[in-house]
Amino acid sequence: MRKLLALLLAAVMVFAIAGCSNGANETPDATDGGNETPIESGLSLENIKLGFIYIGDASDKGYSYTHIAGATKMQQELGLSDNQIVSKFNITEDSNCEVAINELIEAGCNAIFGTSFGYENYMLTAAAEHPEIEFFHASGYQAAGSGLANMHNYFGNIYEARYLTGIAAGLKTQTNKLGYVSAMAFAECISGYTAFYLGAKSVNPDITMEVMYTNSWNDPTKEAQVAQALVDMGCDVIGQHADSTAAQTTAEANNVWSVGYNADMTEAAPNAVLTSAVWDWSQFLIKAVNALIEGTEIGSDFSAGLAEGFVDIAPLNEALVAEGTAEAIEAARQKILSGEIHVFDGPLVTVEGETVVAAGEFFQELNSAPSWAYIIEGIHVNQ
């Protein structure tokens, strides 16, 4: 296990620079501004054309649905016409992504947004070949080191919202055993489920959590199977980092509770969902399009969180949440916003017994791509 953790952490350090702090480090500006001197772009709200690549479609009611909703909100707020938006749906993380990018280039797109982790290398290649087009990749980590002025990463502090949803889970559980359906053994997922666990533990110190991977971003069948296995282990609140609502509907079918991700999943399982960690991707899309039109430089790495409204939680399901949940979440929210608490506050100790964040210190994510990849005490990963 120690060897596996070491290898994973070594890989993650390529993703982003992060560290433990006593408070001296500050979160970088969400805009990552760079040179803000206006340049002549030749683009306007009337002639700009945008391409989007999605790993799924709106039917997942989760990851792709939320990205599509963000693009739609951006289009409406900026007043763009339908023929200024070109979308590619259900594009797998392989040569199909390359095909989709080339089709968007041929369609005359001035900017291309890729929304899945595995798209990044294809986008880097295209960005190098087409410096006249801006490329934006959600959840990646390579833009800053690529040397490409037209390559950008964007993500956000979703771990802050995860922490708050964990409070709802920690107050609701009756078995003190949470379950978590995780797509991949990547820092993006590990950071999320660690934050969820820490939020739960902040209000219920007896909490433990079982994690199982689907090894796929979007596989509703596997997500349901993993959720069922967690329920069978005695987990009575199921969290998730997966694209669909399958974990939520499986929880409802088993008369246990759940916490959704990406979008408000209450409608999919109204008798199970306590709340969801949610995104507003339109914030970055509007910022990026306006920068292109104004001719200002766009930074290589965008991140924002609760303070900016980029991430949040869905309305609590008042029929299900435990008494005092709203008050506990609001208190934690205010402490996160004020800096009184940090999601990854020490002491934090790995399952191997190594203290990775000392008491009085905290782990600070410094780039948009999450880099926390430690498995801490109280979390059991099922292989």
One fold for both 28-156+281-302 and 158-279+311-382? yes
Q: pLDDT exceeding 90 applies to what percent of the chain?
A: 87
Q: Following DSSP, what letter does each residue of 159-178 receive, concatenated? A: HHHHHHHHHHHHHH-SSSEE
- How confident is the model over 307-359, as pLDDT tens digits? 999 999 999 999 999 999 999 999 999 999 999 999 999 999 999 999 999 99
Q: What is the pLDDT of residue 241?
A: 97
As a whole number, the mean pLDDT across the chain is: 91
Point out the least confidently predicted range of 28-32, 104-108, 197-201, 285-289.
28-32
Architecture in CATH for domain 28-156+281-302: 3-Layer(aba) Sandwich (3.40)
Q: What is the pLDDT of residue 176?
A: 98
- How confident is the model over 271-301, as pLDDT tens digits? 999 999 999 999 999 999 999 999 998 899 9
Sheet holding 50-53, edge to edge: 85-88, 50-53, 111-114, 134-138, 151-154, 301-302
CB-based contact 301:367 (threshold 8 Å): yes
Mean per-residue pLDDT, 86-107: 98
- Please state the domain extents for the chain: 28-156+281-302, 158-279+311-382
Alpha-carbon span 162 to 259, nearest angstrom: 9
Q: What is the pLDDT of residue 30?
A: 43
Q: Which amino acid is at 169?
A: A
Q: Which amino acid is at 177?
A: K
Q: Would you put residue 270 in left (φ > 0), alpha (ψ -120 to 50) or beta?
A: alpha
- How confident is the model over 237-259, as pLDDT tens digits? 999 999 999 999 999 999 999 99
Fold of domain 158-279+311-382: Rossmann fold (3.40.50)
Q: What is the pLDDT of residue 256?
A: 98
Residue 261 has pLDDT above 50, yes or no: yes
Which among 282, 207, 265 has a CA at the least distance from the CA of 237? 207
Q: What is the pLDDT of residue 383?
A: 77
Mean per-residue pLDDT, 17-34: 38
Q: What is the pLDDT of residue 35?
A: 37
Q: What is the pLDDT of residue 156?
A: 95
DSSP state letter for 315: P
Q: What is the pLDDT of residue 369?
A: 92
Side-chain half-sphere of 258: how many Cα atoms within 13 Å? 34
Residue 14 has pLDDT above 50, yes or no: no
pLDDT band at 66 (very low <50, low <70, confident <90, very high): very high
Alpha-carbon span 161 to 191, nearest angstrom: 12
Q: What is the pLDDT of residue 366?
A: 86
pLDDT band at 40 (very low <50, low <70, confident <90, very high): low
Residue 4 has pLDDT above 80, yes or no: no
Strand partners, 49: none
Q: pLDDT exceeding 70 applies to what percent of the chain?
A: 89
Q: What is the pLDDT of residue 149?
A: 96
Residue 55 has pLDDT above 80, yes or no: yes
Alpha-carbon span 281 to 67, nearest angstrom: 6
pLDDT band at 2 (very low <50, low <70, confident <90, very high): very low
Q: Which of 236-249 are b and which e, b meaning 16 or more Cβ less than 10 Å from the residue's Cβ?
A: bbbbbbbbbbbbbb
